[in-house]
Structure 1
Amino acid sequence: MTLLNPSVVLNKIDEIVIEDRPVPKIEDPHYVKIAIKKTGICGSDVHYYVHGCCGSFVVTAPMVLGHESAGEVVEVGSAVKTLKVGDRVACEPGIPSRYSAEYKSGNYNLDPDMAFAATPPYDGTLCRYYLLPEDYCVKLPDHVTLEEGALVEPLSVGVHSCRLADVKFGDKLVVFGAGPVGLLVAAVGKAFGATDVLIVDIVEDKLQFAKKLGVATHIYNSSGDRGKSLTETKELHKAAFGDQLATVAIEATGNEYCIASALHLLAPKGRYVQVGMGKENLGLFPMGIVGEKELTIKGCFRYSVGDYETAVGLIASGKVQVKELVTHRFKFEQAIEAYEVVKSGKAIKAIIDGPE
């Protein structure tokens, strides 16, 4: 039997199936129906697959996976003005309440009632057809591929974090973590004008990949710092910037040792942004230097107003290259295999095609 809306569904921990779901119908005239063509696998997807949760979000019922997607508009609501059938779009996957204080203040990503794809209890985008409001679809220029469009989602996290950190020309930026998000943070920081970008990780292959991509001017393998004092690691890290401290630190691992090291690496009046999800309570946090240096510390949660548009612009202009991040590609029917590959740590970024 031909499936009308095949969908990749997480039934429970370690159990993913492909099953038919109802074809969604446009009920709100401002919505469009999108045929999903490319979807990236995010670390949060793997958390749900392996642990059944990601942070405070817990899977309690079968859920369609995926939220890093791009596709083609196949139907538009009667009130849609900015899109037409055939348009290629990057899909911003979180819809806030239009009546929330967070939405009205321009911080819709912080809306506690956000309906975010593949975040319980909401289904994700790994299916044939998906609905979105027209203003949460960003049209892709003709020369930007749908695969690049799928990577707009994680790139928008990089944009949002660098905006929060006010990265600008002349900054010395240190990024902890050379996974997809860390690499994209570094790429955006460089595009925003940071003249020196240091990426810190414990996996040498990832660091060499970052160097090859050209997103890092400096790399540092911190695996040898285990057991050393923060003062010793600070001296080692400082050597990468010619004995100068960083003006901006963006942490993309959630590891408490990385967090502490990043704060030590900052110069007075330095700016720090936390992107990686870690433990709720940290046993190791150098609060003393936060006051002594008058550091600015901010959290980062997804992305907000204008971040998706900026991400598309960075790709379209060639200021950020995302194609090289894709190391594995899978057909839709290979989705289960794709999750196993990402779970094993073999992929930087894996992309799943939409159903044929």
Structure 2
Amino acid sequence: MGAHDRPKQAASRGRLVIWEECARDGAQAKTIMSGSERALIARETGGIFGSEGPSQVIFAAGFPAIGPEEVQAMRVLAESVDNCSLASHGRATRHDIDLGRTALRDAAHPRITFWIPASDELAHALGMASRAQALQRGLDCLAYALDTCGGIPIDVALSGADANDPQYVADAVVGVHLHNDLGFALANIMESVAQGVRVVASSWMGLGERNGLAATEQVVVALSGVVCSVKSAVGEPVDLWEQPPDLHRVVPIAANVSRITGVPLKVTDPICGTGVNSISTGTPFLDRGVFRPFDPMAVLGVEPRIEITQLASKRVLQAVVAQHGIALTDGELDAALRWVKSVAYERNEPIIDKVELFAFLGRNEGGGSR
């Protein structure tokens, strides 16, 4: 499907648009994705929103000025992804605009994006006299893109706008691209959405330049309303989606991005980390709902998991063996608990392999004796 045939284009229309950056800004986190890997993640991200994927997801396909290999990777996306919009990123030059048009010429839902500095400081750093000169260059490139790109939507990013006089960009900024240097990217996105912004940049696992961006998995879940409704600046709830996102797709996508990039998921990562829906102490067994803001199984499809650590109690051990049809006496539980704690501290390693526990008990995981 070519540019003139596309049925939908990403547009806010009062709804939220996720601008996914794991393959573009994410490369600045010292990662790399092949064309087929980018296509996989783009399709999976669009799939969260079903038939509304093209209007609610813009996937940053790449930066074609990097070189011909980058263009080819983007061509793979253009030829194989039709359930989300694809954006080419570049500088404010006709050359970059031409490269982007070439890279995405077969895309079902293409977009061309270039950026210009919006502050004098950044303009000076890039060899321009002022933001006014940068703006003029941007306007020239915009006119060229509109004349040559055959109706493909053109997006202009104003870099450094946060350091500027708000009046300078007030009528132009319709989206935000916020980095996470101080850990506030998600909070700032939430506030931006409350103030009416409807295009937000994020990246799976937060991958991006320096400390990255807000993590897409956190943005989608936080704005989905599963914990609390999103309210506008005047306090009224807002409906951000054409159809509710399928949150059961979120954790598998993050796991795929981790596998592709080699960046590990941490136990402390919200939403997709290895600690989600895991229990290692006895207190949460009393009432799991008291100790968490939502049910990871119901919301995300993440199965509950019990880990045996030095923090184990009899309740934890009994729950583990019960999963295998085993019931232990109080004496067996006492002995197993002493063994678990002794081994953990002796090795200075927190997690005890369950196979080792069953071996200590003289049982196999099917419930029988050894």
**Shorter-normalised TM-score: what interval?**
under 0.3
Q: Higher strand proportion, which one?
A: 1
Question: Which has more radius of gyration?
Answer: 2
Q: Higher helix proportion, which one?
A: 2
TM-score (norm 1): 0.25
